[in-house]
Structures are given as structure tokens and as C-alpha cells.
């Protein structure tokens, strides 16, 4: 039996909408906002949400085709279209997102259970996941799957509440004023927790005080609020708003002038960290498996909340030792034998599994394998739970299931999947390890099963240096640039140079861009485009540097060459003469002042004459490139280039009697000259959230983090030489750390001699001596470190733009120099 959230007539009453089509008072068993995602229950309802990047009404037909028969639409939705759908319930409202919120608030009000609402600038998702894990050892607990904390994510998460749940943990994130007051009625928390306040996503607020005031609106319904008192602004704002009406429970790690409810003392030793938490009722000391400040703060939030609500300290200690630092999102990794691994090994419930399976379907079309552990602490009886699981896997066309655990093994006969294999434990799997080849593998399980050991056993070997690419940041940046453009302006995303260093094939980013409505992709060379085609990318792809010997391959893979000279056009003419080809799409590159590639103004008549003799050519676009769009000192020259471009493009269109796409703006051009966006723009480095003007940077999220680990720590005496050519001489007794990254990995020799710095435990540490091919040496004097400790080369918090300035280059160069032996991991 599937849980019923409500009935269609309940929705009508709650939203005061107008019924424009009705078949019956059907139950509502599932909320849907994305027609691409599979539905599991028999009576889903589709809300046609209108957003920056999409209009849900465009996908009603797709949702109907998938079997959905209940819809909430905008009251301006075309009545003639509504009439084409048979046997449906359709409700028209003034605002579909508001209707989704109204329904969710109505549904949430049915439940009386302790529910913790979490918000803040950083750490929300990690605190939520850890809190869920710790609480679920005693209670049947529900929480947001992954980071479903937005205006649409929260309603989907709250709809997962079921009568058997005993505890709820929900996070909420906002980026501007007015958002939290919409989310608070959906969550209706009984307790609140504020993680911290920082500069992340601050552009929507006047200052930090307003940001705190907006975020803590989540706590309107709370009886008790938990927070760290070490931030005076947080303490003052909470006290002013809630000090007289709610219980404020605080903790502090400082000897502050005012006493907190819990005093936390942290001691970091070489092999462990201890937290002593003292209150008026006693003191408890915990050993925790974390050493970085952010994780220590996050786990302290959890411990204070749980201790204050009566958790047994001894049980907490046992649970803490099983906690690990977790990624906030699913990660894509390269596996053995051309496999792709989706690592989602820190949560395991039906809701988050559905998210992971939908993500899996978005990857390249290969054999799909799921490695799944027992689902623990579910609010659903085992028999029904594993039947739902079997149905879900079948709907996603899973080819092979590898079950880990005694419970899923017990229900093995329920799974109608071509291949199934079951193991009682991870140890049994590793002993009898199945073979994997040319498949996408989702690994998902409860933390106690330690499925990360399985990931390690099937992951392609690589050294410890990793480039992480945050796909959420990519999507955020794309949305920002879209807001700067007219609704009709197309975007060509540049994925050349391994997508600015993010991957050897550019596939992961290209696939995400394809799903989010990009019109065109641009690559530098033919082989980059062919690789994308082989990975299943169907978007139009412009090749910027075609040559006469690869026209055949370009056309056979449906790529579109850039024609930047009359000589290249001659070569294409010869190619056409030798073959009876289909119409060939081309892009004309004009020389307007960059003086790199392009057809000059005095060559236009000859160009037109040649084109008129080649009717099989289809001119898709005419474009040029600005030489200095980022520098205001050259704005006069930029305007001159645009004038030349308009004149030349109009001349071609008039004489060829055509109308084509025109584009001249790159990332910085979009930001500084939106009046020249024409029909299309080319977005490159801006997608990655770097390389833009300092005034724009706060609006973007840097997408890449390059990190490594310490290989060895040594003590050197005053006068000792360090590294090749004895370039560094110790001027005092020093401690140095060797890290496994060198110029073969993209850490240029120019970083040596103290010019470049890396970040270890929040401290800037200079690179000393010469950078080697595979290693570099860092001054860590005075720090308590050990082998394996994390080293940040650059990240969102430690800007690659700043790093580039240190060595006199630009972020473009640093990104594209990252070697292909550096492992790439993609966070969804």
C-alpha cells in the first residue's frame, strides 16, 4: 500500500484554485516537479513550476506520457491545450510554487512529532546528515534527501513524512530576503539550530544582521533554539528577536565574558581530537574522528543538541566513532575497466535512493548496476519496503543489483532484475568480488556497512591529488548568467581544453549543460567533439579549429566547423566537390580587431562569391571575438569592434539573403556589455565561477577545488638545503611537508621559492625550493601535522584568482594546466 498525502479535493480547498478538468477525487501519493524523474506511486501530481531556467508547463505532455494524470498549472495556461488531455485532474492557480507551498504546509500540519529545523551559512547539510544518523539509532527519522533545502526542495522533502516517523530533521537554505518566511510554515520545526553565519550567498542581503534576521525566521514555531554564542552578532540578533519568547541554548569554546549553557574545550593530539562538553549538570568528554575546525564545530552542534535532549553520552561516543567526513552530494568517480561510479555511500533510504537513481539516468547510456545495503530504521515494514525498492529499481531499468546485508538478501526473490547477487557483508563482497566492465555503478548504503570500502575496491587507481568539481556551483553560475540575458538569447557553453581543466572528456559538464537547456557547445578541436558524441551528447557542437584532413570525421559526427579564413573555405569546397554531402552547417568567424583568427572586412566580397557557389553550406552563425572585454580602459576599442562586427554581419546577411545567429560576447562581455548580446553569447570561465571582475565574484560560486595530502613530514636543521639545486636553505630549524603534486600535475615551477602558497588547517603555507615533476615541499614549521592530512591548493574559500596573482598568471592557465593523471570527482 502506498501512503496517501491527501486527495485532489483537499488540494482544491487548500489552494482555492479553479478546477479546469476533473476525472475523480483521486488520492495524491507523490509530488512531482520534474517530468524526467521516475514516479514510484500510482497517483502522483505534477506542479508546473516556472523558474529562471525552465517553465514546467512545457513538460506537461512529457509528464502525461509517463502516466501522470493530476496537474497544477498556472491560470494563464492555454485552455485549448488543457482540452487535449483526457482523464485528468487539473487545477489552475495564480502561482504554482505558492500552491505547492500551501499544500505542503497543510500536509505538515497533520503531524505531531519532534522536528529539528536547521539553517545557517555553511554546514547545514552535514549537520543534518550527522544528526539524522545519530537520531536514527533510536528513532525512525526522516530528513531532506541530500540538499533538498530550497523553495522546491523543502516541499518534496516534507512530503516524505509518514505516520510511522518518530523524529524529523530538515534543513532550509535561502539566498535572499522573503524566502524563509515561505519555508518556515512548510517545516514547522519544534526545535531550531543555527550553524553559523558567513559571507556565502550574501548578495541577496544588505548586511550580515539582515541575513541572520531572515534565516532565523525558520524558528518562529520553535520552543528551543540552539546556536554557538561565540559569534556576538548571532547571539545579539537571536536574543533581540526570541530572547523573551523562546528558550535559547548556547555553547561556547571561548572564555567569553558571558557564560554559555555548554562550555566546549577542544584538544587536538597527533592521532585524535577530544571534546569536553561541560554544563551545569555535569561534564562529558568525547573522542571524535575529525581534526578540521569546520567538522569540529558541526559535530559540537550535534552533541550539544543531543545532550540537551537527553541522549546517553556513552551511546553517543559509540556512534561518534562510526561517523566520517561526508560529501554533501553524490560524487562521480572513474572506476576500473571503463566504469563510472556514483558514490553515495553516506545515506540509504527510499527517498534519497530515488534521487540517486534519477541522477544515474542522466549519465551516459551504459549498463546500470546498483550496489545497495540493507535499509535501516525505515518507517515502513520490511516486506513493503523491499517491494517498493524492487519496483523502483525495475522502473529505472537497472540491469544488475548487488545486495549487501542479511535483510535485502532475505528478500532477494522480490527483485525482477536481469542479474542479482547478494552478500551478507562488505567483507564477503570483497572476498568474492564480482567483475565490472563498461557500466555505471551506483554504490549506496547505510554508513554502518562502510560501503566506501567497495568504492575503493572498484575505483581506478590514482595518486592522492584530486580535483573536485561542484556541479551545483556550475548550475548556480549558469542561472546567474541567464538572469543577465534576454529570455530569447541563446547560450553557447565553451567546453574546450577539457572544460577548463575539469575533465578529460568534458562529458560530465556537457551532460549537465544539455539537461539545463544550453543551445550550443563549443570545442577547440574535432576530437573533443567526437568524444562528446560518443558519450551521448546530442547538442549542436561548434569546432573552433577544424582542418582539411578532418572534415570527413567532423561531418560524420554531426559537428559544425568554424570557418575563419578563405583558405579554409577553399579546402572545404574541395572536400564538397569530392563527395555528395548533405547540407553542412558552418559558423563564420570575422576579424574585427583581435587579430588572431577571422575573415577580414576586405575579404567579404570574395567570401560571399565563394559561398554563393556552395549551396550545400548552411551558415548557422556569424561571430567574432572581443580582444579586451574585461578591461574598461579598452572600452572604446570594444565598441569599435562591435561596430565593425555589425557592419560586416549585415553585409553578409544582405548579400547572401539570409538571417543567422550572431554572437560576439564571452563571459566578461556578458557582464559588461549586455546591450551587445545579439542572438547568442559564449559562456566559458564564468561557468566555473572564477576569472571575473571582483564586483561580480560574490554572485558566483567557484566550482573547483584542487586538493592533495601530506606524504611525509621532516625536520630540517638550520643551514640544510631543500630540494633540487639546493634552491632553499633553511635559515632556522624547520618542519617541512612533502605533498604529491608537481609540475606534471599542473603545479607550475613558478610556485616555488615561496611565491605560491597552499592551505593546511586554515593556514597559508609557502612552497619552498623548486617544485618537482611529481612533488613539492611546503614549510609547515610550528604546526602539528601528520601524514595524510589534507592540503588545499585552491578552493572556493582559497581563490584560484588570488593564487594566480601570486605567480603572475591568470586562473584560465592554472585550471587548464591541471594534468590528466589528477583524479576528477564530480559532486552533483
The CA distance from 30 to 43, in Å, is 7
C-alpha of 164 from chain center = 32
Cα separation, 192 vs 190, in Å, equals 7
Distance CA 128, CA 135 (A): 10
User: What is the rounded distance in angstroms from the CA atom of residue 373 to the CA atom of residue 401?
Assistant: 10
- Residue 28 CA to residue 3 CA, distance in Å, equals 9
Pairwise CA distance, residues 795 & 146, whole Å: 22
- The three three-digit cell numbers of residue 676, written as one number: 551587445
Distance of alpha carbon 107 from alpha carbon 125, whole angstroms: 23
Burial class (CB in 10 A: 0-12, 13-18, 19+), 392: middle
Q: Which residues pair with 371 in a beta bridge?
A: 402, 443
Q: Give the integer Cα–Cα distance in Å for 268 and 473.
A: 33
Buried b (16+ CB within 10 A) or exposed e, 550-589: bbeebbebebbbbbbbeebbebbbebbeeeeeeebbbbbb
- Give how far Cα 553 sits from Cα of 72, 499, 524, 615, 756, Å: 47, 21, 15, 21, 43
- Other CB atoms within 10 A of residue 675 CB: 8
> Which residue shows C-alpha cell 543489483?
401
Residue located via cell numbers 555553547: 251
Q: CA angle at residue 296 from 295 to 300, to 5 degrees? A: 115
Unique residue bearing C-alpha cell 558541526: 298
* CB neighbours of residue 308 within 10 Å: 18
Pairing outcome for strands 30-32 and 44-47: parallel
Secondary-structure percent of the chain, ordered helix, strand, coil, rounded to 5 = 35, 25, 40
Cβ count near 379 (within 10 Å)? 19
**CA separation for the pair 31, 70 (Å, rounded):** 10
Beta-bridge mates of residue 368: 440
| Phi and psi angles of residue 377, each rounded to the nearest 5 degrees, phi first | 55, 40
Question: Residues 6 or more apart from 268 whose CB is under 8 A from it?
Answer: 291, 784
Edge to edge, the sheet with strand 282-288 lists 141-143, 167-171, 115-119, 191-194, 224-228, 247-252, 262-268, 273-279, 282-288
* Catalytic residue set: 496, 724
**CB 70, CB 89: distance < 8 Å:** yes
Please state, in angstroms and rounded to a whole number, the distance separating the CA atoms of residues 13 and 121.
36
CB distance 96 to 48 below 8 Å: yes
Q: Is 51 helix (H, G, I), strand (E, B) or coil?
A: coil
Three cell numbers written together for 763: 593556514
Say if CB 315 and CB 412 are below 8 A apart.
Answer: no
C-alpha cell at 500: 577548463
The strand pair at 282-288 and 273-279 is best described as antiparallel
Cβ atoms of 573 and 611 closer than 8 Å: no
CA–CA separation, 743 and 773 (whole Å): 5
Question: How far apart (Å, rounded) are the C-alpha atoms in residues 460 and 243?
Answer: 54
Using the structure block, give the residue that is written with the C-alpha cell 581563490: 799
In this structure, the number of other CB atoms found within 10 A of the CB of residue 606 comes to 12
Q: Residue 247: how many CB atoms within 10 A of its CB?
A: 14
Amino acid at each position: 500500500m502506498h501512503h496517501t498525502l491527501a486527495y485532489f479535493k483537499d488540494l482544491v480547498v487548500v489552494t482555492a484554485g479553479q478546477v479546469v478538468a476533473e476525472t475523480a477525487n483521486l488520492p495524491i501519493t507523490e509530488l512531482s516537479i520534474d517530468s524526467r524523474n521516475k514516479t514510484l506511486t500510482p497517483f502522483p501530481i505534477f506542479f508546473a513550476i516556472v523558474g529562471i531556467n525552465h517553465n514546467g508547463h512545457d513538460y506537461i505532455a512529457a509528464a502525461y506520457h509517463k502516466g501522470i494524470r493530476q496537474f497544477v498549472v498556472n491560470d494563464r495556461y492555454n485552455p485549448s491545450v488543457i482540452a487535449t488531455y483526457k482523464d485528468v485532474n487539473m487545477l489552475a492557480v495564480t502561482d504554482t510554487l505558492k500552491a505547492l507551498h500551501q499544500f505542503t504546509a497543510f500536509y505538515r500540519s497533520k503531524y505531531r512529532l519532534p522536528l529539528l529545523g536547521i539553517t545557517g551559512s555553511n554546514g547545514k547539510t552535514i549537520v543534518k546528515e550527522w544528526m539524522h544518523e545519530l537520531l536514527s539509532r533510536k528513532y525512525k527519522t526522516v530528513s531532506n534527501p541530500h540538499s533538498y533545502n530550497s523553495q522546491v526542495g523543502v516541499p518534496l522533502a516534507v512530503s516524505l513524512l509518514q505516520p510511522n516517523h518518530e523524529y524529523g530533521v530538515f534543513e532550509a537554505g535561502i539566498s535572499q530576503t522573503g524566502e524563509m518566511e515561505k519555508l518556515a510554515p512548510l517545516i514547522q520545526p519544534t526545535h531550531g539550530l543555527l550553524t553559523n553565519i558567513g559571507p556565502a550567498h550574501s548578495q541577496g542581503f544588505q548586511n550580515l544582521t539582515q541575513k541572520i534576521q531572515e534565516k532565523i525566521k525558520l524558528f518562529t514555531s520553535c520552543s528551543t533554539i540552539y546556536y554557538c554564542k561565540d559569534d556576538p552578532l548571532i547571539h545579539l540578533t537571536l536574543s533581540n528577536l526570541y530572547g523573551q519568547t523562546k528558550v535559547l541554548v548556547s555553547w561556547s569554546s571561548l572564555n567569553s565574558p558571558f557564560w554559555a549553557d555548554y562550555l566546549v574545550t577542544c584538544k587536538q593530539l597527533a592521532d585524535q581530537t577530544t571534546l569536553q562538553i561541560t554544563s551545569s549538570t555535569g561534564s562529558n568528554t568525547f573522542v571524535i574522528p575529525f581534526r578540521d575546525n569546520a567538522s569540529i564545530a558541526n559535530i559540537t552542534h550535534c552533541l550539544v543538541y543531543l545532550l540537551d535532549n537527553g541522549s546517553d553520552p556513552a551511546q553517543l561516543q559509540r556512534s561518534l566513532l562510526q561517523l566520517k567526513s561526508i560529501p554533501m552530494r553524490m560524487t562521480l568517480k572513474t572506476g576500473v575497466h571503463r566504469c563510472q561510479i556514483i558514490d553515495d555511500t553516506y545515506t540509504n533510504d527510499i527517498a534519497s535512493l530515488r534521487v540517486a537513481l534519477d541522477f544515474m539516468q542522466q549519465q551516459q547510456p551504459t549498463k546500470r548496476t546498483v550496489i545497495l545495503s540493507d535499509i535501516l530504521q525505515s518507517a515502513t515494514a520490511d516486506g513493503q519496503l523491499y517491494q517498493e525498492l524492487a519496483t523502483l529499481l525495475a522502473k529505472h531499468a537497472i540491469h544488475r543489483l548487488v545486495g549487501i546485508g542479511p535483510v535485502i538478501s532475505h528478500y532477494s526473490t522480490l527483485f525482477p532484475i536481469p542479474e542479482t547477487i547478494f552478500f551478507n557483508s562488505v567483507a564477503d563482497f570483497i572476498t568474492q568480488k564480482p567483475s565490472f566492465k563498461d557500466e555505471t555503478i551506483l554504490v549506496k548504503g547505510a554508513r554502518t556497512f562502510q560501503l566506501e570500502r567497495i568504492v575503493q575496491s572498484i575505483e581506478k587507481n590514482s595518486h592522492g591529488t584530486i580535483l573536485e568539481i561542484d556541479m551545483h556551483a556550475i548550475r548556480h553560475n549558469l542561472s546567474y548568467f541567464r538572469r543577465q540575458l534576454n529570455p530569447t538569447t541563446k547560450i553557447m557553453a565553451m567546453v574546450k581544453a577539457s572544460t577548463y581543466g575539469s575533465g578529460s572528456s568534458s562529458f560530465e559538464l556537457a551532460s549537465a549543460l544539455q539537461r539545463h537547456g544550453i543551445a550550443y557547445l563549443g570545442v577547440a578541436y574535432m576530437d573533443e567533439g567526437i568524444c562528446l558524441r560518443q558519450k551521448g551528447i546530442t547538442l549542436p557542437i561548434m569546432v573552433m579549429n577544424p582542418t582539411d584532413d578532418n572534415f570527413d570525421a567532423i561531418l560524420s559526427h554531426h559537428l559544425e566547423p568554424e570557418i575563419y579564413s578563405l583558405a579554409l573555405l577553399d579546402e572545404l569546397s574541395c572536400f564538397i566537390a569530392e563527395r555528395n554531402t548533405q547540407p553542412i552547417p558552418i559558423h563564420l568567424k570575422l576579424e574585427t580587431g583581435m587579430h588572431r583568427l577571422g575573415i577580414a572586412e576586405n575579404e567579404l566580397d570574395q567570401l560571399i562569391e565563394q559561398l554563393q557557389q556552395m549551396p550545400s553550406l548552411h551558415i548557422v552563425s556569424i561571430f567574432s571575438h572581443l580582444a579586451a572585454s574585461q578591461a574598461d580602459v579598452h572600452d572604446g576599442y570594444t565598441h569599435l569592434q562591435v561596430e565593425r562586427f555589425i557592419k560586416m554581419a549585415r553585409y553578409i546577411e544582405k548579400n547572401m539573403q539570409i538571417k543567422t545567429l550572431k554572437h560576439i560576447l564571452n563571459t566578461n562581455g556578458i557582464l559588461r556589455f549586455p546591450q551587445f548580446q545579439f542572438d547568442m553569447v559564449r559562456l566559458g570561465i564564468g561557468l566555473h565561477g572564477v576569472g571575473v571582475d571582483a564586483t561580480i565574484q560574490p554572485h558566483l560560486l567557484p566550482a573547483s577545488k584542487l586538493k592533495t595530502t601530506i606524504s611525509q613530514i621532516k625536520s630540517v636543521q638550520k643551514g640544510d638545503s631543500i630540494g633540487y639545486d639546493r634552491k632553499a636553505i633553511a635559515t632556522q630549524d624547520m618542519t617541512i611537508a612533502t605533498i604529491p603534486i608537481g609540475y606534471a600535475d599542473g603545479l607550475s615551477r613558478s610556485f616555488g621559492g615561496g611565491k605560491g602558497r597552499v592551505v593546511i588547517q586554515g593556514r597559508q603555507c609557502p612552497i619552498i625550493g623548486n617544485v618537482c615533476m611529481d612533488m613539492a615541499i611546503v614549510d609547515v614549521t610550528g604546526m602539528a601535522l601528520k601524514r595524510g592530512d589534507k592540503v588545499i591548493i585552491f578552493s572556493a574559500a582559497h581563490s584560484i584568482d588570488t593564487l594566480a596573482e601570486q605567480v603572475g598568471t591568470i586562473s584560465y592557465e592554472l585550471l587548464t594546466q591541471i594534468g590528466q593523471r589528477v583524479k576528477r570527482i564530480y559532486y552533483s
